[in-house]
Structure 1
Amino acid sequence: MTAPIAVLPPGSTIGILGGGQLGRMLAEAASTLGFDVAILEPQADCPASRVAAHHIQAAYDDVDGLKKLAALSDVVTTEFENVPASVVAVLEAEGVRVAPNGRALATAQDRVTEKTFLNSVGATTVGFAKVDDLNDLTVAIEKLGLPALLKTRREGYDGKGQVWIKDAAEAQAALAAVGNKPSILEVRASFVRELSVIAARGTDGSVSVYPLGQNIHENGILRTTIAPVEVDDATQARAVEIATSILNGLDYVGVIGVELFDLGGTLLVNEIAPRVHNTGHWTQDGCGCDQFEQQIRAIAGWPLGSTKAHAKIEMTNLLGHEINDWHAMASDPDTHLHFYGKREAREGRKMAHINKVLERL
């Protein structure tokens, strides 16, 4: 019988792999609950380093750095999914627990592995095919039809590492456009809207799910999430079922983001993110326990917080120099600003987000 995981009291230290905006907001949430935070991040003066007790400046796969993080931490989590899954084994060998686990990271890091897993637990996806070379792509096009989306199997975010194929003659150019890397071809989903659900699983196996949000993208980058979005009971129940099956299937601990296509009564899973998620930022001003506090609660073995919404929120990402309008936005009493502490505003870079209260629930 597996021994129960010890509950971490305030004063314990949370380790975080990654020092960007998600790491910063996790550190802020951990501080509120009385925890210290140690981050491992290769970049100096990163956003999370200025709110954390410790910053280990090292590459994510630097063994000495990982050992230092393990020595400081009572549990370690991640702020993004592209930390090498092998890192988990290094940390666990040092005697520190990692949540979410290495299997969850490895599953989310490869789109073929991810979709294969999702279908195995009853979370339906679009049709797909593995692509290693031009011959694979030609066969996949014949099997799946066009238009279809070619994506690299690994990495790629905010619309990067992907290209639409509308004609079979474009196959070779499409493969070159993604760097001739191992890829996946996906059938186009004829969806009505893009939704997402944020969910969490505790160390005791309990699951808690937030209301659904609707997402609007521009140029492959999330622009706005509105939540809770109006859905029928069956759609919300199916989203809860999907999230629960994924969490249990991965023996997951922590918060996960699940992106969904709503086909008008049927939900397909687009992808999962084994971490707090951009589409869950609305919870900071819409729920009593936001996704960042929920992550800390989950990995520390605490009871999960309430996911009930007390306000309908419109979350908008501020990109690049849009952040310069902060003073005008701050004058609106229904708008809440969340800055990331990045030193340089660049085109398309996420600098902050605002949560505007649309309605009190």
Structure 2
Amino acid sequence: MNPLKPGSTIGILGGGQLGRMLSLAAAQLGFDVAIYTDEPDSPASRVSARTRVGNYLDEAALADFARHVDVVTTEFENVPAETAQALIAAGARVAPNPHALAVAQDRFDEKSYFTSAGIATPPFRAIGSQEDLDAAIAEIGAPAILKTRRFGYDGRGQIRIASAGDARGAYEKLGAPGILEGFCVFEREVSIIAARGWDGAIAFYDLNENEHAGGILSRTTLPARVGADVERAAQDAAKRVMEAFDYVGVLTIEFFVMPDGSLVANEMAPRVHNSGHWTIEGALTSQFEQHIRAVAGWPLGSTKRLAGVEMVNLIGEDAEAWPALAADADARLHLYGKRDTRAGRKMGHVTKLRF
């Protein structure tokens, strides 16, 4: 792909905070951004050149959108893979490709792919009935976690099963096809953020160490407390995934670090990621600029980390502390422009660099 010239238009599917930060990064490089979303008055729309509000399966609307953009990318993984395919059929270049989106949208397919690529995962089984769940518990054991195969995020669509007795009625409560995953007794959680260009060039950011509360990422710190061998293993896994999918853009894989130092893959996200928000201030090239560079056919930027980093998410009413955070000379505050504050909703984040 020839590099897009400044002034070209990048289409983004989705109007959330990741789309907002992608749009801001694209503007810095001289691009216009067009948002396609099913949400009126979205955070990304308010910082972008234009917005098309429509259904993600409206082929006529997607075809019209494709005619007015030079490349299309996504800001969240649950945009239907059919949407990306319809855009390609209408003549658009789309990155990442529909195959990567489809695999990442289904937890069973994702875990199956990791296994086929030689990447370790927790033990898992597909669950389509209470009988499947009972059989899987008998095989995998408890504790375990029952998750929906699709559309779960930030702890939603998950049921913790501490003992076999907890499995009674759990499938009906889940209310959708699921996957049972064995519980991992791990030392810490980490994520690798990588980028790949149309030309196959790959760049890695330093490994993130992550803490979760209530299933939602609460804090990311760097450097991660792991050895160089762990970091190389994470990079190798990400490289294999991106090359297998002929992937273009930023991709994230979350891992559990086991007591023996081995890595167990939890999930992947075919997009920029919450654990990479630190890169806005903490790296020479943010993950958002990197993603725009990749999909636009530009050379990838330097991923050099500038300092030690702590990034804290502002969840729900946490964002009400913005006056104090704005007054903190050591804090860099980011608010996402969401109109309503709700419990469990990501409203912003704050980053501190430690030199």
The residue matched to 2:168 in structure 1 has which SS? Answer: helix
User: 1:202·1:304 contact (CA, 8 Å) conserved in 2?
Assistant: yes
Deviation at 1:145, TM superposition (A): 1.2
Task: State yes or no: 1:128 paired with 2:124.
Answer: yes
Work out whether 1:276 is the aligned partner of 2:278.
no
1:237 aligns with 2:232: yes
1:77 has 2:73 as partner: yes
Show the counterpart of 2:335: 339
Conservation of the 8 A alpha-carbon contact between 1:335 and 1:356: yes
* Partners of 1:18 and 1:39 within 8 A in 2: yes
The 8 Å contact of residues 39 and 69 in structure 1, kept in 2 or not, is answered as no
Tell me the CA shift for residue 249 of structure 1. Answer: 1.4
Q: Where do 1:180-329 residues align within 5 Å?
A: 181-264=176-259, 265-329=261-325
1:69-218 correspondence runs (5 A): 69-179=65-175, 181-218=176-213
Q: Distance in 2 between matches of 1:219 and 1:230?
A: 23
Per the TM alignment, residue 251 of structure 1 is displaced from its structure 2 partner at its CA by: 1.1
Indicate if the aligned counterparts of 2:108 and 2:179 stay in contact, CA closer than 8 A: yes
CA distance in structure 1 between the aligned counterparts of 2:307 and 2:326, rounded to whole angstroms: 19
Deviation at 1:283, TM superposition (A): 0.7
Compute the displacement of 1:240 (Å).
Answer: 0.8
3-state SS in 1 of match to 2:56: coil
CA contact (8 A) 1:285 1:311 kept: no
Shift of 1:142: 1.4
Aligned to 1:57: 53
Runs of 4+ in structure 1 off by over 3 angstroms are none
C-alpha change, 1:324 and 1:169, in structure 2 (3 Å) is closer
Provide structure 1 residue ranges, at least 5 long, that are not aligned to the other structure.
none
Deviations 1:310-333 (A, max 9, x none): 111111111122212112111222
RMSD of the alignment, in Å? Answer: 1.0
Q: Secondary structure at the match of 1:142?
A: helix
User: How far has the Cα of 1:121 moved from its partner?
Assistant: 1.4
Normalising to structure 2: TM-score of the pair? 0.98
Checking the alignment, whether the CA contact within 8 Å between 1:317 and 1:352 is kept in structure 2 is yes
Q: CA deviation at 1:170?
A: 2.6
TM-score (norm 1): 0.96
| One-letter amino acid of the counterpart of residue 331, structure 2 | T
Are positions 1:29 and 2:25 aligned together?
yes
Gaps of 5+ in 2: none
